[in-house]
Amino acid sequence: METPVTKPSSVLYASLAASPPRIESADGNYLFTDDGASIFDASGGAAVACIGHNNSRVKRAVANQLDKISYCFSPWFSTSAYENLAQYLTASTNGEMEKVFVVGSGAEAVEAALKMARQYYLELPEPQPQRCRFIARDRSYHGNTLGSLSLSGHKARRTPFEPLLSQQFSHVSPCYAYRGKKQGEGDDQYTSRLAQELEDEFQRVGPSKVCGFVAETVAGLTLGGVAATPGYLKAMKEVCDRHGALFILDEAGMGRTGTLHAWEQEGVVPHLQTVAKGLGAGYAAIGALMVHKDVVDVFSKGSKAFVHFQTYHGHPLACAAAYEVQQVIKDEDLVSNCHKMGEYLGRLLSKRLGSHHNVGDVRGRGLLWGVELVKDKATKTPFPAQDKIAPAIHAAGLSKFSISLIPGGGVADGTHGDVMVITPAYNINEADAQLIVEKAALAIEHVLGPARPSRL
Ligand SMILES: Cc1ncc(COP(=O)(O)O)c(C=O)c1O
C-alpha cells in the first residue's frame, strides 16, 4: 500500500522513499485511509490499541480531564488523575508493587527502572556504589533511547549506534525453546542451562557489580510471542537473589497474555516492573515504572527521593486516559477474553498455517501470537534478511488483504529470521479471530506460495 513519494511531505517517514497509507479515522478494529480503504487492525499498531479505536468512555474521560487540569509539573504537584491510576495499578498487584512513576513511553519507563535500580544500591544502609552493570537478553528489545537500547539485545537496532551505547550492559541467551533447546533436552534441563548461563555471566562481570537482570516476561514483538518455559523466570530470579541483584521485568501488555500482569502466571514478583503499550491503549502516550515495596522501603529509609523527573511525567491527560482504559478492561472482563480468544486464535493459526512448508513455529500466549517463517522447516534455516520476507508479508497484508500485522526480523541470530506477530484488541470475538487468521494466511501465501507438502 506504500506509494512512491510524489509531492514532498515534511514528515520524516520510516523510509524516505515511500509514503505510508494515511489514516483519517478509526473505529473498533478498523483503520480508515484517506483513499477510502478499511484495514483490520490485527496489530493494534505496535500491540497498543488493545480496546480498539474510538472508545467513547475513554474519549469522555480525556475530555473531562481537560476541563479539570491538563498539565502541571509532577515534582511539585499531584493530581487525582495520577493518584487514581497509581492506586489502581498498585492494587492490581495485591500491594506487591507499592509505588508507580508514570512516564510517556516504554523506553522512558525502562530508563527510569535502570536509574532506580542504580540508586537503590546507593540508598542501602550499607551502600554498594560499585553496582553499575545490567544483564539482559540477546534479541530483546527495551526501547530506542540510548539507555534502553544499551539494555536491548536487538542487533539490527543497536549496530548503527554501538559506539554510543554503554559498556555496562551484557546479554545472555533468551528463553526461546524453538531455537534454543537442544535435541532431546527437557524443559527443566533447558531452564537449568539458562540459569547456569546467567550465573556464569554474573561471575564473568563480577556478581557484586550487577544492579539487575532485565527480561521481557513474554518476549513480545522481537522474538514474536515467545513465553518462557515453566520455571524459567523463577530460576532467573533465584540467580539474582543469590547475588543481591534486582529482578526487573519489562511488560508491555497489561492483560494481553491472559493475566493483568504477565508475571502472575510465572510464580514470581519483580522488584521493578515496566509497563506501557496496553496501559493507555494508544489513547495517550504513557508508560509506567512500578516499584516493589521492598525497594520502596529502602528509599523510605534512605534519601526518600528518586533522583529523576521529566517535564511530562505523571501527565494528567495520559493518566486519565489510561485509568479509563483499565476500567474498560476490567468492566468488560477483557483479560479473560484475552485468555479465551487467545486459545481460539492460536488453534486456528496452527490449523490454518502449521503445515505450511515455510511456517516453522506457531507460538503465543493470550492474544500475543507469532508465526515464525523459515526457509527450511527441517533445519529451521531462516530466510536471509535481505529477502525481507516479513516486511513483504506486512506490505501484502496492508495492500492486498486489508490487514495490519507486525513484521519482526532477526529472530534466529539477531540479523536473520522472520516472524509475523499478531496482537489484536482484547475484545475480539470468534468471527474476528477467523478473519484475522484467513487474512494473515493469505498474506503469507501471497509471498511464500500456498502450502506444499514439507519434509516434516
Ligand atoms: C518490551 C518492550 N519494552 C520497551 C519497549 C519500548 O517502548 P516505546 O516504543 O514505547 O518506547 C517496547 C516496544 O516495542 C517493548 O516491546
Q: Is the CB of 252 under 6 A from ligand 1?
A: yes
User: Three cell numbers at 405?
Assistant: 500485522
| Ligand 1 within 6 A of CB of 46 | yes
Query: Using DSSP, how many helices (H) and how many strands (E) does the chain show?
Result: 15, 19
Assigned C-alpha cell, 227: 513465553
- Cell numbers that stand for 22 in this block: 494515511
Residues facing 361 on adjacent strands:
372
pLDDT value, residue 193: 98
Task: Give residue 252's pLDDT.
Answer: 77
Beta-strand relationship, 403-404 and 38-41: parallel
**Which parts of the chain have pLDDT scores under 70?**
1-6, 453-456
Residue to probe by mutation, ligand 1, list 142, 145, 310, most atoms within 8 Å of CB: 142
Q: Is 289 in the pocket of ligand 1 (CB under 6 A)?
A: no
Q: Is 11 strand, coil or helix?
A: coil
CA atoms of 269 and 5, how far apart (whole Å):
49
> Ligand 1 centre from 252 Cα, in Å?
7
Using a 10 angstrom Cβ sphere, with 0-12 exposed, 13-18 middle and 19 or more buried, the burial of residue 11 is exposed
Dihedral, CA atoms, 24, 279, 116, 147, nearest 10 degrees?
A: -30
C-beta 142 within 6 A of ligand 1: yes
Give the integer Cα–Cα distance in Å for 220 and 453: 30
pLDDT at 253 (0 to 100) = 82
Cα–Cα distance between 246 and 114 in angstroms, integer?
10
Residues whose CB falls within 8 Å of the CB of residue 311, separated by 6 or more in sequence, listed in order: 73
Q: How far is the CA of 7 from the centre of ligand 1 (A)?
A: 32
Taking alpha carbons only, the member of 446, 383, 443 closest to residue 43 is 443
Measured distance CA(128)–CA(143) in Å, rounded: 27
Q: How far is the CA of 143 from the centre of ligand 1 (A)?
A: 5
Q: Is the CA virtual torsion 230, 232, 237, 239 positive or negative?
A: positive
Closest by Cα among 194, 279, 275 to 228: 194
User: By C-alpha distance, which of 198, 143, 187 is closest to 165?
Assistant: 143
- CA distance linking residue 215 with residue 152, whole number of Å: 10
Cβ 276 under 6 angstroms from ligand 1:
yes
Residue 66 to residue 240: CA distance in whole angstroms: 44
Task: Tell me, using a 6 A CB cutoff, whether residue 143 lines ligand 1.
Answer: yes
Q: Delineate the domains of the chain, giving CATH numbers in brackets.
A: 3-54+334-448 (3.90.1150.10), 57-331 (3.40.640.10)
Exposure string of 30-41, with b = 16+ CB inside 10 Å and e = fewer, is bbebeeeeebbb
Verify whether ligand 1 is closer than 6 Å to residue 335 (CB atom). no
Q: What is the helix (H) or strand (E) element at residue 52, kind and residue range?
A: none
Q: How far apart are CA 198 and CA 171, in angstroms?
A: 9
Per-residue pLDDT, 6: 61
Contact in structure between 404 and 43 (CB atoms under 8 Å)? yes
Looking at 182-222, list the stretches that DSSP marks H as alpha helix, in order from N- to C-terminal side: 187-205
Beta-strand relationship, 133-137 and 210-216: parallel
